[in-house]
Amino acid sequence: MGKSMFSGIIASSGVAIGKAFVLKEVDIHISDGVLDPSEVESEVARFEVARSQSVEQLEAIRDKAAIKLGKEEAEVFEGHILVATDEELEEEVLEAIRNLKPADAALNSVINANVAMLEELDDPYFRERVADIKDVGRRLLKNLLGIAMVSLEDVTKGTIIVADDLTPSETSQIDLDKVEGFVTNIGGRTSHSAIMARSLELPAIVGAKVATDRIINGDNIVLDAVNNKVLVNPDALTLEQYHALQVSLEEEKKALAQLKALPCETADGKRFELCANIGTLKDVEGATRHGAEGVGLYRTEFLFMDRAQMPTEAEQFQAYKGVAEAMGRQPVIIRTLDIGGDKDLPYLDLPQELNPFLGYRAIRMCFDKPEILNTQLRAILRASHFGNLKIMFPMVISVEEARRLKGILAEVKSALKAEGHPFDDSIDIGVMIETPAAVMIADLLIDELDFFSIGTNDLTQYVLAVDRGNEMIADLYDHYAPSVIRAIKRVIDCSHEAGKWTGMCGEMAGDEHAVLLLAGLGLDEFSVSASSIPRVKKVLRGQRQEALEALADKALSMATANEVKALLNAFVQ
């Protein structure tokens, strides 16, 4: 393959150089003959060997995942082991072999029949099991046919993973000592694997569409997740330049690390709160290492994903308490469940919708299924006794909703009091500002609340009516649009007039140029992925607040996003 280059979406920034390891599924050919009765015994033995091999492999993967990622993530593989050791399934295969089917054909027909049967059932739990059975069935078949398992376990040092997509369980198997980065055909910045890559601080480009077509195993790859380029077999000079860039990025990282203990303030002493976005307890380590002053967004959805049923109150309590304790007196803003839109929970059996982003999601779904919110609020309140927690609700559009949420919270508090559970009775409550409706009534909403946090990922899509996940209109999705900037200004001003504060937990808060503008607009708190913390601090420490306010004033008078960007570029120069 000659020199080639393509781009995608930067999921996690950095530069990685290495050899390609392409994860591609091979075609499996199933035998179509009939056994001679004398062969039955050896076919049964062949199946049993493949079965125990599969169980051993799955146990090893589970144990590794438990050490690297914790018990929650390892549970996925527990489910796989249950399928592989299922006695009914085994008996069905043996029966088919005794009816003179070769072992692979027997296994294949049993798996297909079970999948078809479960897909028919109107039960979300069983439908969820279909994926597990398909996965395990493929593993059994490959072991049976002696097809090498393409596994992330097999990668050697200095690898760049190239895949169509990486599932959360695949991402969890990545060995950071060997893998330098990954590039996938599908996915976006807010997809599961992208968020995991950022918390692993692993350079990654997703949504590159052609990665598995353009790259073959062993190609030399430069993954430039700073300038959004994937280079395939670059020439020696280019490689040399990238090695030099890696060295300078490493030096920059070290220099930035020096800022860890310094406050996030401008040269003339205007102070900002600089926090981290997290998805799980494990992300707290990175947040603290980079000097986060708190957690500005704890996306609780991750606790609800990759499992077969809702986490119980006890499980949620443990998770929230863990984060609260790990952060000590530093604030942790826990967002209640934000499911729907592009985030599905198969066991909830949510309806298919024509406009899922305008549909049954977040608190709307929670109002409809009160036990979900009730359980979560109980767990959060109980955990509030162990740290400094705040509660944040996503996707609010009206004062009625804010009042209703407060009413539910008050009821939960009364119940906990009656049961004698200790909790922080004066816990702060805020909402995410993600909808134009919330922006327009920010002055009314803030009277009900303690704070706002602007979710620009959604706010941008709703203000502009541009789907955040649709690559055909990706060029229209722009948080520098004057409409978006004016919305942000209004929200900050409304909170300040009421003596309250506004933070931002959308991706815009980590955009180096946007940071200047946001500080000038008076934003009080920035909540960004942990690895972006040092850079945001550096940017702000190099400026005077007065200058940033003048810059923001000018930006507000600009007529187009490009003018705003040009203004910021010129300011930075």
Strand ranges for 455-539 from DSSP E:
501-504, 525-528
Q: Which of 72, 401, 434, 525 binds ligand PEP (CB under 6 A)?
A: 434
Listed in sequence order, the residues at least 6 apart from 532 whose beta carbon sits closer than 8 Å to its beta carbon are 510
Decide if 360 contacts 351 (C-beta within 8 A). Answer: yes
> 543 by DSSP, 3-state: which?
coil
Instruction: Give the x/- contact pattern for ligand PEP in 82-111, rule: CB under 6 A.
Output: ------------------------------
Select which of 264, 496, 505, 513 is catalytic.
505
Per the annotation, the verdict on 192 as an active-site residue is yes
Piece of the chain touching ligand PEP by CB under 6 A; list 179-187, 249-257, 451-459, 493-501? 451-459
Smallest gap from residue 351 Cβ to ligand PEP (A): 20
Instruction: Give the x/- contact pattern for ligand PEP in 290-309, rule: CB under 6 A.
Output: -------x-x----------
Residue 525 interaction partner, one of ligand PEP, Mg ion, none, beta carbon < 5-8 Å per kind = none
Total number of residues binding Mg ion (CB under 5 A)? 3
Sign of the dihedral defined by the CA atoms of residues 166, 172, 174, 180, in that order: positive
Pick 172 or 456: Cβ nearer ligand PEP: 456
* Amino acid occupying residue 393: F
The pair of structure tokens assigned to 529 is 């992925």
Pick 17 or 303: Cβ nearer ligand PEP: 303
Instruction: Give the x/- contact pattern for ligand PEP in 174-193, rule: CB under 6 A.
Output: ----------------x---
Listed in sequence order, the residues at least 6 apart from 51 whose beta carbon sits closer than 8 Å to its beta carbon are 84, 85, 90, 140, 143
Smallest gap from residue 355 Cβ to ligand PEP (A): 16
Piece of the chain touching ligand PEP by CB under 6 A; list 12-20, 117-125, 317-325, 449-457? 449-457
- Beta partners for residue 222, in sequence order: 17, 231
- Beta partners for residue 225, in sequence order: 14
535 binds ligand PEP (CB under 6 A): no
Kindly identify the residues of this chain, within the stretch 247-286, that bind ligand PEP according to CB under 6 A: none
506 binds ligand PEP (CB under 6 A): yes
340 binds Mg ion (CB under 5 A): no
Per the annotation, the verdict on 385 as an active-site residue is no
Pick 192 or 299: Cβ nearer ligand PEP: 299
b/e for 52-81, b at 16 or more Cβ within 10 A? ebbbebbeebbebbbebbbebbbebbebbb
Total number of residues binding ligand PEP (CB under 6 A)? 11
> 90 by DSSP, 3-state: which?
helix
Q: Which of 14, 322, 340, 455 binds Mg ion (CB under 5 A)?
A: 455
428 binds ligand PEP (CB under 6 A): no
* Amino acid occupying residue 427: I
505 binds ligand PEP (CB under 6 A): yes
503 binds Mg ion (CB under 5 A): no
Q: What is the 3-state secondary structure (H, E, C) of 409-475?
A: HHHHHHHHHHHCCCCCCCCEEEEEECCHHHHHCHHHHHHHCCEEEECHHHHHHHHHCCCCCCHHHHH
The pair of structure tokens assigned to 500 is 């309250």
Q: Which of 384, 375, 451 is nearest to 424 (CA)?
A: 384
Smallest gap from residue 431 Cβ to ligand PEP (A): 12
Pick 223 or 463: Cβ nearer ligand PEP: 463
Q: For residues 30 and 242, what is the distance between their CA atoms, to the nearest angstrom?
A: 46
Pairing mode of beta strands 14-23, 159-163: parallel
Smallest gap from residue 491 Cβ to ligand PEP (A): 13
Smallest gap from residue 332 Cβ to ligand PEP (A): 15
Smallest gap from residue 452 Cβ to ligand PEP (A): 12
Distances (CA, A) of 249 to 8, 243, 259, 497, 503: 21, 10, 16, 42, 29
128 binds ligand PEP (CB under 6 A): no
Distances (CA, A) of 210 to 18, 164, 183, 187: 18, 9, 10, 13
Select which of 192, 275, 290, 479 is catalytic.
192
Burial of 127 (0-12, 13-18, 19+ CB in 10 A): middle
491 binds ligand PEP (CB under 6 A): no
Q: For residues 202 and 159, what is the distance between their CA atoms, to the nearest angstrom?
A: 12
Piece of the chain touching Mg ion by CB under 5 A; list 202-210, 419-427, 453-461, 473-481? 453-461
Q: Which residue is nearest to Mg ion (CB)?
A: 458
Name the residues that contact Mg ion, by CB under 5 A.
434, 455, 458
Name the residues that contact ligand PEP, by CB under 6 A.
190, 297, 299, 338, 434, 455-458, 505-506
Q: What residues are labeled active site?
A: 192, 505
